[in-house]
Amino acid sequence: MAHGRPDTGYLHWRWQPAACRLPAFSAANFLRLLANKHLSFVGDSLARNQMESLLCLVASHAGPPDLVYRREQDKFRRWVFRSHNATVSIYWSPFLVNGTEQSPTAGRVQNHMHLDAADERWAAELGEMDVLLISAGHWFLLPTVFYTGGEVVGCHHCGGLNRSESGFFEGFRRAVRTAVGAAMGGMAEGGMAVVATFSPAHFEGEWDKAGACSKVEPFREGEKEMEYMDREMWRIGVEEVASAVPPVERVRVEVLDVTRMAMMRPDGHPGPYMHARPFEGGPKERVQNDCVHWCLPGPIDAWNEVLLELLKRWREAEGDMAVAAS
């Protein structure tokens, strides 16, 4: 809105599941459930987007938290809501696993991902996390070389490597599997790991060739089918959670299934208003659009409504286990 977006309908649409009631987000309930606990978001800019939504939802009712840690241009940050000693943190890890980001200026035209080793920037601190939310996917669509055991096992957009294209689905699957495995093995007993499913983009055209997202209303039921790539990325997240068997007793593994609800909301992106007043001065040959991330307030707030329900289940199970133990 500050950048000049004229419509406001995206602020008022709210996703409702068909078979149950989803309560509105309650900051008081969130703080009660996360009292003396640490919730960490790990992943790419969609993880950060959801974390920012959560902080806004809580701070608007409970006051702003204290920023207690930051480094690497705010890619790693931590806040504390002092009233409940509730900690929320963000770890930048777009691959989830160890890797090197592409840098044409340094001669790296592909990302490099080591699929068998979780990114130690977050994995080394798993023992401090009570709830871990893993959210990634879009970086796997970029040119990438995949490794296991130090050997190349595949690549996507393999230009100049003299290798056959392997695609990115298997690389994404193995990265999610490694991340979930690290969480299950590294979190303290009683923790919960949550995998957020893939969030579809809504570019009408190519993202880097003036693709836009001009819709100002959600899709109606049945108007839009999930595209193949989005469906496969969604399937990987769901299947990896379903097949996870925690080696540590009482570590929960849950899926935060956001793919379909995100697909229905082409109206909720910043679009050309990722920059201030993009059409000022008359028509332009090309205006870059952001059709991946979400406006705040906006559709991504519903993800945190579902996350709050997962937190309720988790703490209720904790209570049951405490009774059983006594």
Q: d(Cα 180, Cα 185) in Å, to the nearest integer?
A: 9
- Say how many C-beta atoms besides its own lie within 10 A of residue 204's C-beta: 13
Annotated active-site residue in 44, 230, 267, 290: 290
Active site residue 293: yes
DSSP for 82-125 reads: TTTTEEEEEEE-TTSEEEE--BGGGTB-SEEEEEEEE-HHHHTT
Fill in the amino acid letter for 297: P
Active site residue 267: no
Give the three-class secondary structure for 266: helix
Q: Is the CB of residue 166 less than 8 Å from the CB of residue 288?
A: no
Q: Is the CB of residue 34 less than 8 Å from the CB of residue 84?
A: yes
Annotated active-site residue in 119, 267, 293, 301: 293
Q: Where do the H-state alpha helices sit in 244-300? A: 259-263
Handedness of CA 290, 292, 295, 299 (dihedral sign): positive
Q: d(Cα 302, Cα 15) in Å, to the nearest integer?
A: 7
Q: Is the CB of residue 175 less than 8 Å from the CB of residue 116?
A: no
Annotated active-site residue in 26, 45, 112, 257: 45
Q: d(Cα 313, Cα 322) in Å, to the nearest integer?
A: 14
- Which CA distances in Å does 219 have to 72, 222, 226? 38, 8, 12
Q: d(Cα 238, Cα 235) in Å, to the nearest integer?
A: 5
Q: Is 101 exposed, middle or buried (CB count within 10 Å of its CB: 0-12, 13-18, 19+)?
A: middle
Active site residue 290: yes
What residues act catalytically? 45, 290, 293
